[in-house]
Amino acid sequence: MGPTLSWLGELTLGRAHLEQGIALYDPQQHLSHAFLYGGHDSGTCCQAIVARILWLLGYPDQALRRFYEALTLAQKLSHPFSLANVLFLAAPVHQLRWEGQAAQERAEALVVLCNEQGFVQFLAGGTILQGWALAEQGQYEEGIAQIRQGLAAYQATGAELWRPYFLALLVEAYRKAGQNEEGLAVVAGALTMVDRTGERWYEAELYRLKAELTLQTKIHGREAEVQQEAEECFHKAIDVARRQSAKSLELRAATSLARLWQRQGKKAEAHCLLSKVYHWFTEGFDTADLQDAKMLLDELS
């Protein structure tokens, strides 16, 4: 129930089920389950998924701590597939926190382990994260190529889960590389997939990325229309994030919309919008998202 609800965007309820699973878990008693149910240890799986949910809910520091707890437990178990599962499920916490170097290191560890053990699906996921990390550090062409390679390998396994998120990583790489039309095409496909499968936990970020790409697209004589379309997407991102209690994604979307309003001269409205979200947070003030929001608030004051 925990993972399933979290994929659907029911983050608070999903977390509650996972926390209950963690409370019931006993490594000595339940390690044998790894050989019966899906090939991985349930305790490490619960911890890893909770790490991602905690970031979404607005607790980036707690998310990182849970990731380390899951990783430490998986390493103690000496069960390769459980370790690969933790790296696959929780390494994106570094990506969500915009920690490119750390994400690259975790992805490389996952790729090495999967090559040794023959874990094809997780290998594809690690390849995608490696590509994102390269693009994040300015190696756009190489990063985009690696993400696309990983996506093709992942799709070849028949897996559907995680694909909207992985496509968002490709969109982000396209955006930073200035390849706006390519990014808009991919984000349209990702949003169609969200509607088809119901995997909505990263839906808000997809709408935010669509808005950012729309703003970067230069259409002569239609600037007002472009800004209006982008603003609608930002509002959609905020609405989705609020519905899911995804405070970290709400902060990103609010920051993006506030920056647009700043350009339009609506500084008071921008400050009001962003201030309410920013001051909800109680941790993670050294992370990129909160630092970006704080810098913009200072400009708007």
- Domains in the chain and their CATH numbers? 1-90 (no CATH), 98-201 (1.25.40.10)
Residue 250's H or E segment, with its range, is: helix 247-263
CB atoms near residue 26 (< 10 Å): 8
- If one compares 145 and 35, the residue with the highest pLDDT of the two is 145
**CA–CA separation, 172 and 183 (whole Å):** 8
**CA–CA separation, 101 and 244 (whole Å):** 29
Average pLDDT over the chain, rounded to an integer: 94
**CA–CA separation, 254 and 157 (whole Å):** 37
**CA–CA separation, 247 and 253 (whole Å):** 10
- pLDDT tens per residue across span 11-59: 999 999 999 999 998 877 656 665 666 667 888 989 999 999 999 999 9
Question: Which range among 23-32, 144-153, 274-283 shows the weakest confidence by mean pLDDT?
Answer: 23-32
**CA–CA separation, 183 and 192 (whole Å):** 14
Q: Which residues, 6 or more positions from 114, have their beta carbon under 8 angstroms from its beta carbon?
A: 84, 120, 122, 123, 126
Surface-to-core class of residue 294, CB atoms within 10 Å of its CB (0-12 exposed, 13-18 middle, 19+ buried): middle
Evaluate if residue 86 carries a pLDDT over 70. Answer: yes
Confidence at residue 126, expressed as pLDDT on a 0 to 100 scale = 97
Confidence at residue 36, expressed as pLDDT on a 0 to 100 scale = 66
Across 253-261, average pLDDT: 98
At residue 78 the predicted structure's pLDDT band, cuts being 50, 70 and 90, is: confident
Across 233-258, average pLDDT: 98
Confidence at residue 41, expressed as pLDDT on a 0 to 100 scale = 82
Amino acid 3 reads P
Across 118-147, average pLDDT: 97
CA-nearest of 73, 61, 88 to 22 is: 73
Q: Where does 31-139 have alpha helices with state H? A: 42-57, 60-77, 80-90, 92-96, 100-117, 120-136
Q: What is the DSSP letter of 40?
A: S
Radius of gyration of the chain (CA): 19
